[in-house]
Structure 1
Amino acid sequence: MTAIEFNHRIASLKDTLELFTRRFTKDQEESEDLIQDTVLKALTYRDKFKQNTNLKGWLYTIMRNTFINNYRKAQRARTTHDDTKELYYLNVADSHTFNSPDSSYEYKDIVNCMNDVKSDLLIPFKMHVDGYKYHEIADSLEIPIGTVKNRIFHARKEIQKKLVAYST
């Protein structure tokens, strides 16, 4: 199928595409935008269309996926508008906290517990905390990667035990 024939077939399905958009939106402008996006993607990816397949179904799939992607993008971008006087809701302190007083530790307490860990466990653990990858730690210390993972795991468990004992 030539590009001209393909374009003509898509243009002949414009009314059908309008009916498809009714499944997704009642707004006329959104409907027109969705049709335009669908046709643009269809023309852009014409080489992906296989001869002797259902063009209407292919266009519907493009339209549905475009609608879903646009919806998700809009949900991520949705922000809260505060129209109250003095921007009350934006200026109120957040009373919700993820840390409970029972499980919160000061940085110095964690460092004290870390310093009590054996050095063969502590060195790989500190390197991992500093952002080194397992293979980088293994190369630097000239030990197998499995040993690095094991030492980091045991260092973390030892620090957790000391922090629990520290809090009581």
Structure 2
Amino acid sequence: MTSKPPFDISDHLVPLRRRARALTRNGPDSEDLVQETILQAYEKADTRSEDGNLRGWLMTILRHRFIDGRRRAQASARREAALAEMTPKLSEGSQDLHMRVTEVRAAFFTLPPEQRAALYLVAIEGRSCAEAAALLNIPMGTLTSRLGRARDRLRALETDDASQVIPMKRKG
């Protein structure tokens, strides 16, 4: 027995895709935005007024998802820029130290963005796990697992044992 969806969005897909494309100016990103919008709409279906404008409601969700994504990207860019500024510029000192700092920095930037953000907030900014989880808007368990995976990857690079490096999952 299948349950009936709370509303039918089929008539609104073309306008949603058009608006998403106008906002993102990128085909794959616009499709992702539409999918996120539809998912959130079905998750929040019980909050929608039955006699309200479905198209307007969907467009509002789409716009909010777009804005949230832009804010996340900007915050991530600011964190990465701050990290780059904090990286010591070694003009004097041993070549070995300079090479090591360069290797660690490069290894940090090979981490997936989610792991990099978690590690940056906790290890570099010195925030508590609770604060970092709240800033990233994720559960505490997700934050600690991201921290663990990031540390494992960096630790494996530290021992130069590439076989221990956890492979990154690619989005398909």
Q: TM-score, normalised by structure 1?
A: 0.45
Q: TM-score, normalised by structure 2?
A: 0.44
